[in-house]
């Protein structure tokens, strides 16, 4: 199929200084948990993006000097010439598909505690580092400023030798020394680098001019700048200094990459921000500069993309998360199959990989981070190796992905689910406040298997061990999911909580099925992800008095890694949910729950007529147990939450892994390639 003519504008070439992008699809710099730690994985992931049609593919932050050491985060590094080969390998892969390679050079200043290099952090003025380390950054003197300019220039020249086509100056997200000089909150200097905006922009201008002078003959020089810090008068705003900075430097760079700050705002989850929410902040930029502009907004609709270009908001469709969810998004639009796009759901599981210093993962795209180590491709999969038929019991995220991938391989697949709606936990959870976009996990797979003649889906179809055997498939897959416990078992109480059998208990499953509580309600969250906070939010919005209790020190504490913990706790507090942190659930009495402080053991009581424990899930494995005791059970495999409850991303990955491995001989040893350090020849010290 050919590209729909109304999308032709998206495939126009765009000149960026001395280079030209072949279309308007631009993968902006994004972290990935690989970088220098897993360089082969990083390079192949970026190469696949170029193959998928992204005309510009950029790195993550790349350190330029040991005094801006991001450790333990596995970002990029370009301290000296020894770092060039890793980045050159990435450039070679991107150039293989005629795409441009961009590098985001950065000195992180007070954002770096320099845990590896052990150098003193640098900042415009004396200030503690942003991490929790008991470390302060020292104020840079004029020699430090000259050194920073030299480091950035040297890194730009190394980037050019590595093969990069665009070299970034990074001034966004509160993550760079340049942005710290711009900030009135962090820059308290009284010399020519502090005070007025013109003075605070001075270092920005100098480094920009240095970079243009060093590499601007053959490389485009881009600026990444946050036009609004969402701090009101205390920070940079789009109608104030954000606009002023762009007006002052308007024609200097070859491209403006504009967004908002910090990272938690720029990459806000779909639970809190809609697609395109940044448009209002950046829409003025093209009226200020003649240079091309790229912006982001979790865009997945080609019609929205066309509108952004036609209305003069951007020249390039910037993407981080949508390019992770579907590296082939541009190709699918170009080839006339936009309905096949795996749309980003805005859950930020991708961010959690970077926060944990491991290869990025994605709920929608189970191949993300696996391109090199497992050899998985987002759009290609090995054909079937036999004529086995497969029965999948359960149409949740694991079962649907297994069916989709097995069907793509050419196997005959039947899916049976007892419910009247496909999707499993996704179908239920996507009805919770703010999670509607999570329904895309099921929608994409249901659409795809709906186009496959070799895959059948049957709902309202309860399966037993006997009916599985009677069905006669060559292999059965049990993707039957999990259930929330009602006895309080979890991390804090591995044996459960005594006395709950006499209390009015609703599990999250009961809640999602529409069961009504009697108020007041206590939500005991020992899961620490999104479920406890969402239930408390919905119960409060329904008018109930709600207390959220957690043994952790923060509400929904794991969501720090998805950049939304602050937003969750803020929303609950504004709604009037009572929050009790660092307390365990000890029992339920007459109209009250007894809690104990996890530090002192001191007891306290809170009013409670309904308890909703959000603690742990058990695999729904009765079917597997029944098959195991059969005299001659058919071959079967348990996958997803039915095997080990986890995230939706883990369930999708489990389904994909089964489909990839089906029919292959059993592996031996580590099931994927690893990055092993080779000892090189270094100059004697």
**From the candidates 26, 38, 168, 170, which is the catalytic residue?**
170
Decide the pairing of beta strands 412-416 and 389-393.
parallel
Q: 554 — phi, psi (to 5°)?
A: -135, 155
The 3-state DSSP class for residue 282 equals helix
Sign of the dihedral through C-alpha 78, 82, 87, 91:
positive
Residue labelled with tokens 């070299």: 167
Q: 58 — phi, psi (to 5°)?
A: -110, 160
DSSP 159-212: HHHHT-SEEEEEE-TT-SHHHHHH-TTT----STTSSSHHHHTHHHHHHHHHHH
Residue labelled with tokens 């920073």: 148
**From the candidates 26, 31, 38, 254, which is the catalytic residue?**
31
Q: Is 219 a catalytic residue?
A: no
**From the candidates 257, 266, 326, 527, which is the catalytic residue?**
266
Taking a C-beta distance cutoff of 8 angstroms, is the pair 617, 632 a contact? no
Per-residue DSSP letter, 505: B
Q: CA-based angle 363:272:239, to the nearest 5?
A: 125
Q: Is 82 a catalytic residue?
A: no
**From the candidates 70, 107, 173, 583, which is the catalytic residue?**
173
Cα(513)–Cα(530) distance, integer angstroms: 18
- Terminal C-alpha separation, the chain: 61
Q: Is 266 a catalytic residue?
A: yes
Residue labelled with tokens 């980003």: 344
Q: CA-based angle 540:541:546, to the nearest 5?
A: 5
Q: Is 504 a catalytic residue?
A: no
Helices 202-215, 142-162: inter-axial angle, 10-degree rounding: 30
Beta bridge partners of 592: 607
Beta bridge partners of 221: 167
Taking a C-beta distance cutoff of 8 angstroms, is the pair 549, 460 a contact? no
Question: Could you list the active site residues?
Answer: 31, 170, 173, 266
């Amino acid at each position: 199929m050919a590209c729909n003519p109304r999308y032709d504008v998206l495939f126009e070439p765009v000149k960026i200084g001395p280079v030209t992008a072949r279309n308007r699809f631009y993968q902006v710099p994004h972290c990935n948990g690989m970088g220098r730690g897993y360089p082969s994985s990083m390079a192949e992931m970026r190469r696949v993006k170029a193959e998928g049609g992204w005309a510009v593919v950029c790195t993550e932050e790349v350190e330029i000097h040991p005094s801006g050491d991001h450790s333990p985060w596995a970002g990029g590094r370009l301290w000296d010439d020894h770092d060039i080969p890793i980045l050159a390998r990435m450039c070679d892969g991107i150039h293989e598909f005629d795409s441009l390679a961009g590098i985001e050079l950065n000195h992180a200043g007070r954002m770096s505690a320099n845990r590896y290099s052990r150098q003193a952090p640098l900042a415009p003025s004396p200030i503690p580092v942003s991490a929790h380390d008991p470390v302060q950054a020292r104020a840079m003197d004029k020699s430090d400023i000259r050194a920073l300019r030299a480091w950035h220039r040297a890194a730009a020249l190394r980037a050019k030798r590595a093969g990069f086509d665009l070299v970034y100056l990074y001034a966004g997200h509160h993550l760079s020394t340049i942005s710290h000089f711009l900030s009135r909150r962090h820059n308290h200097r009284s010399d020519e680098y502090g005070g007025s905006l013109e003075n605070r922009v001075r270092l920005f201008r100098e480094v920009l001019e240095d970079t243009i002078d060093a590499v601007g003959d053959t490389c485009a020089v881009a600026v990444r700048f946050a036009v609004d810090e969402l701090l009101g008068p205390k920070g940079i705003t789009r109608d104030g200094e954000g606009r002023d900075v762009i007006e002052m430097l308007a024609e200097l760079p070859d491209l403006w990459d504009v967004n908002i700050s910090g990272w938690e705002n720029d990459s806000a989850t779909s639970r809190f921000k809609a697609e395109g929410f940044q448009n209002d902040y950046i829409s003025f930029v093209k009226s200020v500069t003649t240079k091309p502009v790229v912006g982001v907004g979790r865009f997945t609709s080609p019609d929205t993309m066309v509108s952004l270009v036609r209305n003069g908001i951007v020249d390039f469709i910037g993407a981080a998360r949508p390019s992770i969810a579907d590296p082939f998004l541009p190709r699918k639009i170009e080839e006339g199959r936009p309905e096949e796009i795996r749309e980003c759901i805005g859950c930020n599981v991708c961010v959690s990989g970077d926060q944990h210093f491991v290869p990025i993962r994605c709920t929608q795209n189970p191949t993300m981070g696996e391109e090199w180590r497992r050899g998985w491709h987002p759009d290609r999969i090995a054909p079937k190796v036999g004529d086995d038929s497969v029965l999948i019991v359960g149409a949740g995220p694991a079962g649907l992905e297994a069916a989709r991938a097995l069907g793509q391989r050419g196997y005959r697949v039947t899916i049976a689910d007892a419910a009247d709606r496909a999707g499993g936990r996704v179908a239920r959870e996507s009805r919770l406040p703010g999670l509607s976009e999570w329904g895309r996990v099921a929608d994409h797979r249901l659409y795809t298997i709906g186009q496959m003649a070799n895959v059948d889906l049957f709902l309202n179809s309860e399966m037993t061990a006997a009916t599985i055997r009677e069905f006669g498939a060559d292999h059965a897959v049990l993707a039957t999911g999990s259930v929330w416990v009602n006895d309080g078992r979890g991390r804090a109480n591995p044996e459960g909580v005594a006395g709950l059998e006499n209390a009015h208990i609703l599990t999250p499953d009961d809640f999602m099925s529409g069961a009504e509580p009697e108020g007041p309600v206590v939500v005991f969250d020992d899961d620490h992800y999104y479920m406890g906070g969402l239930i408390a939010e919905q119960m409060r919005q329904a008018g109930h008095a709600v207390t959220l209790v957690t043994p952790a020190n923060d509400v929904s504490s794991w969501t720090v890694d998805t950049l939304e913990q602050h937003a969750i706790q803020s929303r609950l507090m504004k709604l009037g949910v009572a929050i009790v942190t660092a307390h365990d659930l000890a029992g339920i009495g007459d109209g009250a729950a007894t809690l104990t402080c996890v530090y002192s053991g001191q007891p306290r009581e809170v009013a409670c007529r309904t308890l909703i424990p959000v603690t742990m899930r058990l695999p729904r494995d009765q079917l597997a147990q029944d098959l195991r005791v059969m005299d001659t059970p058919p071959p079967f495999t348990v996958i997803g939450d039915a095997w080990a409850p986890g995230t939706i991303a883990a369930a999708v990955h489990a389904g994909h892994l089964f489909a990839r491995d089906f029919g292959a001989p059993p592996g031996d040893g580590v099931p994927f390639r690893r990055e092993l350090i080779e000892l090189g020849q270094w100059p004697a010290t």
